[in-house]
């Protein structure tokens, strides 16, 4: 069906290479709502980064996956009751170009500053303190156990084949993936956290009943 398609070289546009920010940026967008939605993050990594699998394990420990209680959900949702949904990930958007590290929480306006502080504290903690052996084991079990569900449909298999070609994974990646994950150590996760996460220099975007200075807008939150 595709035999007649021309096989031509494509000249891709060039653009400046993105660099990690070296300061903190905050943007508050006032919008009538019952809660504030907050995204906190910075530049991430490419899919071909050699630390990708260590970062996948880190993601699972810090931000979680379905059915897995990670640090941020456990602390901000379960312990403090600040939100129903909260997460963090650096590998989710990794591609040919660097994606982004992103963390999210939606909470009530009066808990906004506590929620921001909670996100930053958990990011800082995984940078400064090694994860536990139990956290590492549980993350590996989750990743290797859930991996098979990425191949349930024809669309998922097709997507994998495209990714295998684009990122040079090899079509035996399905067999190799568990070994990549099981090879990750506590030191690998700590090293990756120190290299690729930043609890000081990030961009914070808050949308909801807030003023431009980051204070809660009483008029909007009362609506």
**Which pLDDT score is estimated for 223?**
45
Q: How many CA atoms lie within 13 A of 46 on its CB side?
A: 11
What's the whole-model pTM score?
Answer: 0.88
CB contact set of 72 (below 8 Å; sequence gap of 6+): 62, 63, 64, 86, 87, 88, 103, 105, 118, 119, 122
CB 41 within 8 A of CB 101: yes
Mean pLDDT value across the chain: 92
Q: What's the rounded mean pLDDT across residues 119-139?
A: 97
**Which pLDDT score is estimated for 101?**
98
CATH code, residues 25-213: 3.30.830.10
3-class state of residue 28 by DSSP: strand
CB 38 within 8 A of CB 105: yes
User: pLDDT-derived band of residue 222, with 50, 70 and 90 as boundaries?
Assistant: very low
User: pLDDT-derived band of residue 67, with 50, 70 and 90 as boundaries?
Assistant: low
d(CA 8, CA 20): 35
157-169 pLDDT per residue, tens = 999 999 999 999 9
Question: 219 vs 152, which has greater pLDDT?
Answer: 152
- In terms of DSSP bridges, do strands 25-30 and 203-208 run parallel, antiparallel, or are they unpaired? parallel
At residue 47, does pLDDT exceed 90?
yes
At residue 78, does pLDDT exceed 60?
yes
């Amino acid at each position: 069906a595709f035999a007649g398609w021309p096989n031509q070289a494509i000249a891709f546009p060039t653009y400046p290479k993105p660099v990690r920010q070296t300061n903190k940026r905050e943007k508050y967008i006032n919008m009538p709502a019952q809660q504030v939605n907050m995204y906190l993050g910075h530049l991430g990594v490419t899919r071909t980064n050699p630390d990708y699998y260590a970062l996948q394990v880190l993601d699972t420990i810090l931000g979680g996956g379905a059915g897995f209680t990670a640090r941020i959900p456990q602390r901000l949702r379960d312990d403090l009751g600040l939100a129903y949904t909260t997460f963090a990930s650096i590998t989710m958007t990794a591609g040919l170009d660097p994606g982004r590290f992103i963390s999210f929480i939606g909470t009530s306006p009066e808990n906004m500053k506590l929620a921001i502080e909670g996100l930053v504290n958990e990011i800082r903690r995984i940078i400064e303190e090694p994860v536990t052996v139990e956290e590492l084991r549980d993350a590996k079990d989750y990743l290797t156990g859930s991996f098979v569900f990425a191949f349930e449909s024809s669309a998922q298999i097709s997507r994998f084949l495209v990714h295998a070609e684009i990122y040079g994974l090899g079509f035996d990646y399905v067999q190799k993936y568990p070994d990549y994950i099981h090879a990750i150590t506590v030191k690998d996760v700590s090293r990756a956290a120190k290299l690729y996460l930043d609890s000081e220099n990030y961009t914070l975007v808050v949308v909801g009943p807030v003023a431009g200075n980051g204070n809660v807008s009483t008029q909007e939150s009362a609506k």
